[in-house]
Amino acid sequence: METSVHDQIKRMVEIQKLDGEIYDLRKEMGEKPKLIDKLKGEFEATKAKLNGLEEKAKSIVVSRKEFELELQSKEDVIAKANADLNQLKTNKEYSAKISEIESLKADKSQVEEKILRSYDAADAVNADIEKEKAEVAEREKVYLSKKKEIEDEVRVLDDRVKVLDSQRSEIAPHIDPQILKQYEKLLEVKEGRAIVPVNGLACGGCYMNAMPQTVNQIKMRQELIRCEYCARFLYLEDDL
């Protein structure tokens, strides 16, 4: 195994290029299910709206049947009241019965109006249902198409990660196990960037300024130097 500090840094920079891309790819892959969930949510919302309209249509039919039963009941009462007219003996009784019949007919008219309004309401809801069915069909088409597109993208990204992982496995054995362990721990907590260049005097990870002494220590190649602020390993691009 190559053991010089300079060789270790070179290997770490090589593996960091791979790990940086792997991190970014996996992050992108992790976002894809959210896109699918969003599209699915939009599709499910249109289905829920359609279901709501269909339930409303059923409710209108149920109410209409109740009104029709109520109408039949009132017609029966009116028919009986009309039949009773022939049995009455005084004008007073006759007038009272006529008033009762007129009141019953007024109630009947209100029920008939409710039935007519229910037909209008049903027509409106059924028109909305047809529109929503078309919307559901379109949303489903978009959802399934985009879902397949995203899943294809994920497969491409995953294939790329496998290639990078394979390349990584060829480099990792050339890095000191203890250093590799520290490096990989940093990868987890530093957004996939464990070793970064010093740009001027600034750390390429946290962008805090390093001391000139730190830069000199890197140039000496006697030990691995880490940023005093973010703990990432540091290197000089011109020194590789």
Give per-residue pLDDT as tens, 84-126. Answer: 998 888 989 989 989 999 999 999 999 999 999 999 999 999 9
Tokens for 199? 């740009």
C-alpha–C-alpha distance, residues 117 and 113, integer Å: 6
Tokens for 82? 């009309």
In a domain, 110, yes or no: yes
Alpha helix (H) ranges present in 172-227? 177-189, 212-220
Beta pairing class for 202-203 and 195-199: antiparallel
Q: Give Cβ neighbours of residue 10 (< 8 Å, ≥ 6 apart).
A: 240
Domain CATH code at residue 162: 1.10.287.1490
Domain count, the chain: 1
Are the C-beta atoms of residues 57 and 207 closer than 8 Å to each other?
A: no
Longest CA pairwise span in the chain (Å): 129
In a domain, 161, yes or no: yes
In a domain, 164, yes or no: yes
Residue 239 confidence class, pLDDT cut points 50, 70, 90: confident
In a domain, 191, yes or no: no
In a domain, 41, yes or no: yes
Neighbours of 19 (CB within 10 A): 23
In this prediction, residue 236 carries a pLDDT of 96
pLDDT at 2 exceeding the cut of 60:
no
pLDDT at 240 exceeding the cut of 70:
yes
In a domain, 137, yes or no: yes
Query: Checking phi first, is residue 88 left (phi over 0); if not, alpha (psi -120 to 50) or beta?
Result: beta
Neighbours of 176 (CB within 10 A): 18
Average pLDDT, the chain: 95
In a domain, 222, yes or no: no
In this prediction, residue 1 carries a pLDDT of 46
In a domain, 214, yes or no: no
Are the C-beta atoms of residues 1 and 174 closer than 8 Å to each other?
A: yes
In this prediction, residue 87 carries a pLDDT of 87
Residue 209 bridge partners (DSSP):
202
**Where in the sequence is the domain holding 66, given as residue range(s)?**
30-171
Give whole-number Cα distances, 70 to 73, 104, 109, 121, in Å.
Answer: 5, 12, 11, 19
In this prediction, residue 89 carries a pLDDT of 86
Are the C-beta atoms of residues 187 and 175 closer than 8 Å to each other?
A: no
Residue 56 confidence class, pLDDT cut points 50, 70, 90: very high
